[in-house]
Amino acid sequence: MRAKLKCGHCGTRMTAIESRGVTIDWCELCQGIWFDPSELVTTLTNGERRTGERDPFERSLPRRGLSVMSCPRCRPGLMVAVGWEGLSFTQCPKCHGVFLDRPQLAAVKERYRVPSRAPSSGEVADALSASAKGLARWAEVLWSLARTVGRLKLGLPAV
């Protein structure tokens, strides 16, 4: 069993929760969530990506300065603020864990997109065929419209 971590935000003992094969640490008092390295990406991908090392997403988080929070794992080491304009959370520069609250997690989920698999050649062919049929229909409509406009310019009935 894992040792209970102390919340870096409020100091309360955190509760370990199993979710989609990942054990995250949750603070009942401040609602903060601690993700060890790669746990955030595993959570964001619904368990599809489970690398033991830091994900490129976690490595590329832009630093925004120091945070007053201390790392639940590396206590008393200070954490750094990371994120983008309008979305900032904290990460430990030593162990690379990430601390978020629920609204921040929801915003990160919106920002993080799971790379999708490449479409098969059959799927590409079907999509191109559907597009071609759609274009052919529009070409017919435009041709009919052009004929009607031409007839009206000549003073003929629109038919």
How confident is the model at residue 13, as a pLDDT? 93
Q: Does 5 fall in a domain?
A: no
How many structural domains are present in the chain?
2
Do 35 and 101 reside in the same domain of the chain? yes
Whose tokens are 């920002």? That residue is 111
Q: Does 98 fall in a domain?
A: yes
Q: Does 54 fall in a domain?
A: yes
In eight-state DSSP terms, residue 53 is S
Q: Does 153 fall in a domain?
A: yes
How confident is the model at residue 113, as a pLDDT? 63
Q: Does 9 fall in a domain?
A: no
Do 89 and 37 reside in the same domain of the chain? yes
Do 85 and 151 reside in the same domain of the chain? no
Whose tokens are 């007053």? That residue is 68
Q: Does 3 fall in a domain?
A: no
Radius of gyration of the chain (CA): 27
Specify whether the CB–CB gap between 83 and 61 falls below 8 A.
yes
The two structure tokens encoding residue 88: 């900032």
159 residues of the chain, pLDDT tens digit each:
566 899 888 889 999 988 777 888 999 999 999 988 888 888 887 766 655 555 666 767 788 888 888 888 887 778 888 888 778 889 888 888 899 988 888 888 887 765 555 667 777 777 777 777 777 887 888 888 888 888 788 887 776
Q: Does 150 fall in a domain?
A: yes
3-class SS of residue 149: helix
Specify whether the CB–CB gap between 49 and 41 falls below 8 A.
yes
Q: Domain residues for 152?
A: 120-159
How confident is the model at residue 33, as a pLDDT? 92
3-class SS of residue 14: coil
pTM score above 0.75: no
How confident is the model at residue 116, as a pLDDT? 53
Strands 63-70 and 32-35: unpaired
Q: Does 6 fall in a domain?
A: no
Do 95 and 62 reside in the same domain of the chain? yes
